[in-house]
Structure 1
């Protein structure tokens, strides 16, 4: 990575510690939102008189803009300064959080969540990129490890803090809690060195690609969420669906016509060509292509299970928000404790065994969650499925990341990671939009224990099926090991 500032920060210095704290606090805001917003859905739905579609949009509005613009956010940081774009994202996210907390209606809450996702797209790539660009190479591994561990702690404490705030005060406080975190980042800002990529200086941005991707996902998501109320054949559903499909087709065509990131090709008028946000050359690797299809299946299932489970625990099983949040804590703890060992095992034996076994364990865990019903005892009916699901996640997450990076040349590692991350978020987005339609949940069904319990059990079968397909896909591809160089068209 070529930067305008020589990397030299060390953890033992004030500047090094300040930069690390800022990165951890900022990523903590995004991680907290991902763990506590789902827990708050029943309470905010009741308070704002929302229907099922409103709850879907509270989750998907944020995911949509984050997935659509996170690659652009990383590119903006490379060009204009990672510190600058990171801080803009932090302030943006904080202001949007205030708007979420004060939202008087479900419509305004959804709008604020969409705006919040844009802020997250600016800060999320910057939090790790600053560490990568600014720390001395000898200290970089320790700094990234500390960032990962401390960010994981914020994810683990999210259910405790969020659940307590929801039960004791109001669901609105899960958004207000972002304000002191943002203030902490701003106070640490003077320690953060600025860094840029020299290769990105003359690069124009793929604004068209970002907008087409966002509009494509938005159109399809809107159609899926609106279908239960308006019917699959209605103009209200068909028009946005067709517009979304057309935008995604146009997105693919636009990306095919553009060059690779950072490559200074010129247009006919002599100006630098906008690089592709989604470089087509990456997909000449069949391994990379199949791994991203695998990601779509397994992360679609994950998004669906997490969306349904916390509502099931509160609306059907009678858990409080705090109890529902804590119920899934073993999954987070297993990831924190076992991900490093899982990654090390994948390095020794190759990632494919874990990529096959992981989703199958998750599928078995999803089927065990059928035990979660009215007045479900946690130890006997919730914990077995949660533990098995968590073991599956622990088995596959780290090996999937290493396999994606091993499937491309080193110079494309950053883009490949971003593409895979976007695929995971898009999969969750579409699953949360589609599953209520597939299982017949609409209107205020989330507040009807009998109706929601029936839909929850059907959704688990769909999610288990997606996970099994993911496991089968992993069998069909030869995943490169950590020491292997990828080959073009490798399978």
Structure 2
């Protein structure tokens, strides 16, 4: 790589690292937040979901914003917003202010990830681009290790507030590297931002999630609950209608005519919904139920993450050789069986035999799944639209985690005690196994068999420039 390419890669890694880091820190910090600010399980749900609502609903349109305004400018805006939101979280004195700041973080995160990848794809070509994206994926994955550990250390030794200021360092370094980069910003002419689609999507998800979280406090018959649910459903239906008729839709519905694409996204919804639910439940229960310090709770899932980092590329290569269907079938089912091991957890807690074997089995299953799943979803669509296809898949993953986290109170029965933990464990395992079954029934070994009917449709030809891939 030449100097400018190394700078671009470092900027892209650090900018995305910022967004991924806070997503892993928060689950370790939730019990401490509850002790400090109060609000019960609903506050914990909202602290997670406020971020996911804005991230999941805006990541689809963020690619268009990046194309229209310029990748470097959008990166700077995203970094600045993320830093401001992080300071706001650290200074929060009540749950509402904290939740609003988390929502702002989600807006910033939606700007950072697509813009980072857009910067890579506009700087690298051919095989060098593939290697650069591979390095981006590997390096940003370290946030999954660093986040829980550092978050736990700060919670145990100082304050949960400082855990959310960790990202100030990579944000500052990224701004310095951007100043060093003599790189002309790129704007794509003719790009239009579907503001109405983004607003409808955000309102739809927000209304539905509000009803799911607050129904435990107010009940389904309360006007605030059934009205917000109704308005949320109507707004999301309006978003789908908008995508059907918009000149430049942010989520082209025609993509879902492709069998491997819609099947892969359905499997994504089950698998990532399970991951979103499990990450919150395990992170909170190990502290509140098993009484582990935050540092050890943050390290509990480390073996599965190390498996993913060490073996993901290997399973990706095996998938390319033998086909993704077998890995997308066996992997989620194996992960589900590993999750069921957590049913061994008792009041006499022992991590080494009640949790660790399940973590290892779960990690192996997940490692078998992720690379084949992503490659199948992207491989189902022609390369010119791979960016849009991957943005849709990423949004599906985030929204699935959002909805399952919103349903946490219903799933655990209002309290995350041992019984609630086991109920959540069964639901998580069922979702993972369902993802494997969907893959077995729906995925075709030959991508040509998935019938990319959308490839030749007139509407597909009217679409603007494709956006860079965002790993699910």
- Counterparts of 2:94 and 2:9, CA distance in 1: 37
> Counterpart of 2:392?
419
- Counterparts of 2:64 and 2:444, CA distance in 1: 28
Once the two structures are superposed, what CA deviation does each residue of 1:94-153 show, in whole Å capped at 9, x if it has no partner? 111100111111111000000111011111111122111112545323322222222122
For residue 209 of structure 1, report the CA deviation from its aligned partner: 0.7
CA contact (8 A) 1:369 1:382 kept: yes
169, 192, 199: which is aligned to 1:180? Answer: 169
Once the two structures are superposed, what CA deviation does each residue of 1:54-86 show, in whole Å capped at 9, x if it has no partner? 000000000110001012111111121111111
> Counterpart of 1:380?
353
Tell me, which stretches of 5 or more residues in structure 1 are unaligned? Answer: 1-10, 260-274, 447-451
> Counterpart of 2:302?
329
The answer to whether the aligner puts 1:107 opposite 2:96 as a matched pair is yes
> Counterpart of 1:389?
362
Aligned pair count reads 453
Q: CA RMSD in A?
A: 1.6
> Counterpart of 1:488?
452
Once the two structures are superposed, what CA deviation does each residue of 1:394-419 show, in whole Å capped at 9, x if it has no partner? 01000000000111121111000000
Aligned ranges 1:42-57 → 2 under 5 Å: 42-57=31-46
For residue 311 of structure 1, report the CA deviation from its aligned partner: 0.9
The answer to whether the aligner puts 1:78 opposite 2:67 as a matched pair is yes
CA contact (8 A) 2:263 2:443 kept: no
186, 191, 194: which is aligned to 1:203? Answer: 191
For residue 195 of structure 1, report the CA deviation from its aligned partner: 4.3
- Counterparts of 1:166 and 1:174, CA distance in 2: 7
CA contact (8 A) 1:408 1:486 kept: no
- Counterparts of 1:137 and 1:191, CA distance in 2: 25
- Counterparts of 1:369 and 1:471, CA distance in 2: 20
Aligned ranges 1:259-278 → 2 under 5 Å: 259=247, 275-278=248-251
For residue 338 of structure 1, report the CA deviation from its aligned partner: 0.8
> Counterpart of 1:228?
216
> Counterpart of 2:424?
459
CA contact (8 A) 1:18 1:188 kept: yes
- Counterparts of 2:41 and 2:89, CA distance in 1: 18
For residue 465 of structure 1, report the CA deviation from its aligned partner: 1.4
> Counterpart of 1:123?
112
> Counterpart of 1:266?
none
> Counterpart of 1:90?
79
For residue 375 of structure 1, report the CA deviation from its aligned partner: 4.5
- The verdict on how the C-alpha distance between 1:37 and 1:318 changes in structure 2, with shifts beyond 3 A counting, is same
Partner SS for 1:476:
helix
429, 440, 445: which is aligned to 1:475? Answer: 440
- Counterparts of 1:214 and 1:194, CA distance in 2: 33
CA contact (8 A) 1:403 1:480 kept: no
Q: What is the TM-score when the length of structure 2 is the normalising length?
A: 0.93
Tell me, which stretches of 5 or more residues in structure 2 are unaligned? Answer: 455-472
For residue 50 of structure 1, report the CA deviation from its aligned partner: 2.2
For residue 486 of structure 1, report the CA deviation from its aligned partner: 5.3
CA contact (8 A) 2:73 2:185 kept: no
- Counterparts of 1:454 and 1:462, CA distance in 2: 13
> Counterpart of 2:245?
257
- The verdict on how the C-alpha distance between 1:401 and 1:138 changes in structure 2, with shifts beyond 3 A counting, is closer
> Counterpart of 1:268?
none
> Counterpart of 1:302?
275
Once the two structures are superposed, what CA deviation does each residue of 1:23-82 show, in whole Å capped at 9, x if it has no partner? 111111111111111011001110111211000000000011000101211111112111
Q: What is the TM-score when the length of structure 1 is the normalising length?
A: 0.89
Partner SS for 1:176:
coil
Partner SS for 2:452:
coil
- Counterparts of 1:109 and 1:191, CA distance in 2: 34
